[in-house]
Amino acid sequence: MILEEINRLKRVRNAVVLAHNYQLPEVQDIADFVGDSLELALKAQEVDADVVVMAGVRFMAEMVALLNPDKTVLHPSPDAGCPLADFLSKSVIEEYRREHPGAPLVVYVNSPLEAKALADYVVTSSSAVKVISKLDSDTILFGPDKNLADFVAEKTQKNVIPVPVSGHCPVHEFLISRYYVEKALREHPGYELVVHPETPRDVRRLANFVGSTSQMLRYIQETQADKILVGTEEGLVYRARKLAPGKDIVPVNPIAVCANMKKITPYNILKSLDRLEPRVTLDRALASRALEVVERSLELVK
């Protein structure tokens, strides 16, 4: 019933639903496209639709709105933020800019719009290494995730300074910690381990593969291994099992849940499509500066 009504409204509104890989199974099943942060931003530009419903957290909905000023962008749960993004305030950026004049500031897409407007480049977990390796400078300011900063430093051999020093995703820092990973490996001998770069270094060291959510999904499908532990938010396991049905895919920690991602439900998607609310609106001055930075960054990803 609710699915039929969503499908009817999608047709009436000429709308598509884009969902992040961590969304609830029932939301992933409703979506026209499921992907990682970079794929979602690019997909929103490709789709021929008047309305885009973003099933993800706020910065994802803001990215869709930023790249699609002519589309109506709906975010069914505007209070679905990202605690990692909140580490990067204007004052933190100004402090590090003052201390490291001349170093480019690269900002993770998990950040507020204001931070993107103040940055030189914006990256996602799948583009960070590529973009930073192409920059002229050997010293890079990177925020807000200290673990992704460390991962990029290892991969590029550059001096990547975390902005701020303690920025982290609580799900990856505390619930995909070395404790949970070692426990899962002990309980699942012979399993391969894939993890997200937002995990701490001592976890990444134990992994067979480190990548964005969609890069992990590709690895899971392509590896010879048929028993895999997934070290990221638990929503990825549903998607992985769907894409690699013959494999035994187990979460490192089933309680590694991003509560904000789970605030999107079929019911609030239905309500959004019906009312064309809540819409994502962006501050025009910030959006125009942030768009320049994002477009410059996307050029380096091609």
Compute the distance between CA of residue 60 and CA of residue 47 in angstroms, rounded to an integer: 16
Using CB atoms within 10 A of its CB, is residue 32 exposed (0-12), middle (13-18) or buried (19+)?
middle
The residues that bridge with 55 in the sheet, in sequence order, are 19
Inter-residue contact 197 to 210 (CB < 8 Å): yes
Q: What's the min distance (Å) between Cβ of 234 and ligand 13P?
A: 12
Report strand pairing: 72-74 vs 33-35: unpaired
- Please tell me whether residue 273 binds ligand SF4 under the rule CB under 6 A: no
Which stretch in 77-85, 90-98, 242-250, 272-280 sits in contact with ligand SF4 by CB under 6 A? 77-85
Compute the distance between CA of residue 45 and CA of residue 211 in angstroms, rounded to an integer: 24
Q: Please select the residue that binds ligand SF4; options are 21, 110, 127, 265, rule is CB under 6 A.
A: 110
3-state secondary structure of 299: helix
The residues that bridge with 72 in the sheet, in sequence order, are 51
Q: Give the total of residues touching ligand 13P (CB under 6 A).
A: 11
Q: Please select the residue that binds ligand SF4; options are 171, 194, 216, 298, rule is CB under 6 A.
A: 171
Tokens of 174: 């505390």
Nearest to ligand 13P of 40, 118 (CB atom) = 40
83: partner contacted, choices ligand SF4, ligand 13P, none (Cβ within 5-8 A by kind): ligand SF4
- Please tell me whether residue 233 binds ligand SF4 under the rule CB under 6 A: yes
Inter-residue contact 17 to 53 (CB < 8 Å): yes
Tokens of 249: 């895919």
Residue among 248, 157, 232 nearest 200 (CA): 232
Q: Please select the residue that binds ligand SF4; options are 203, 210, 217, 261, rule is CB under 6 A.
A: 261
- Please tell me whether residue 124 binds ligand 13P under the rule CB under 6 A: yes
3-state secondary structure of 132: helix
Q: Give the total of residues touching ligand SF4 (CB under 6 A).
A: 12
Nearest to ligand SF4 of 15, 175 (CB atom) = 175
Nearest to ligand 13P of 9, 152 (CB atom) = 152
Residues contributing to the site for ligand SF4 (CB under 6 A): 57, 82-84, 110, 169, 171, 198, 233, 258, 260-261
Residues contributing to the site for ligand 13P (CB under 6 A): 21, 36-37, 110, 124-125, 169, 196, 198, 212-213
